[in-house]
Structure 1
Amino acid sequence: MVDADIFSKKVSPTLGNVAPHYLMNIFEAETAPYIVKGFFDRNPTIDQCTFVFQYVNPDDYGNNATYPMVSFDFTRALYQKVNWPRFNEDNLRKIAPNFKGDAHFGALLNDETFPALMMLKSNE
């Protein structure tokens, strides 16, 4: 992710262990608009879609389990209204109908935000 310029060079491998949900949230926020645009670009006959972001992590027994992050709806009419070259990806949460963040993921994110910011600050 660092090499692809999704994360800055301040992101260390240790941060992935300390704040994985924080990093997943950044990744989702950065990539979701491109996924929405790409989906509607490639599927001109589809008028609406529900997008669901999830992640896979081991459960208490070591088996893979799927956990929700966010979900939202998007329509072709909304897709056509967006000026994609100038679109601020932070606004997706504002304009996407039925945007919902999972409460448990949100709690984990809140728990990790301060330690993540402190680690990023120490990597300056």
Structure 2
Amino acid sequence: MELTYTLQELPEVAEKVLTGSSSKTLLFYGEMGTGKTTLIKQIAKNLGVVDSVSSPTFSIVNEHLLDNEKLYHYDFYRLESLDEALDIGIEDYLYSGHWNFVEWPEKVEDLLPGESTKIELIKNENGSRTLSIKPVK
């Protein structure tokens, strides 16, 4: 699935991401400034997260509570080795059965679950974004 959207359409786009996802592990690809964290915030809100969602750039992972569920949000931009990810217990998080939203997943590809959803974001010249959703098996 591919769609182009503006920030005003973000709540509807977030819902389409959730319904178009084949798993609870969402991998967000895109250059810096394409809106990965902004989209993640809206998806988390659609899922029912009530606390503030921000990028875990320095902590690597943030945990958010839902009703009888958790959401783990990762930002691996500053990650320098797979050992750093292993040190935080990434495998326990990723294989917990909870939601996993991963920014910069290319840095930990060898550790990712087999089933996930790839979300690619591109910022267009007019300020809109183009998003594609693809299952990964």
Normalising by structure 2, report the TM-score: 0.29
Greater relative CO, 1 or 2 (CA 8 Å, sep 6+): 2
The structure that has the greater radius of gyration is 1
Higher strand share: 2
Higher helix share: 1
Normalising by structure 1, report the TM-score: 0.31
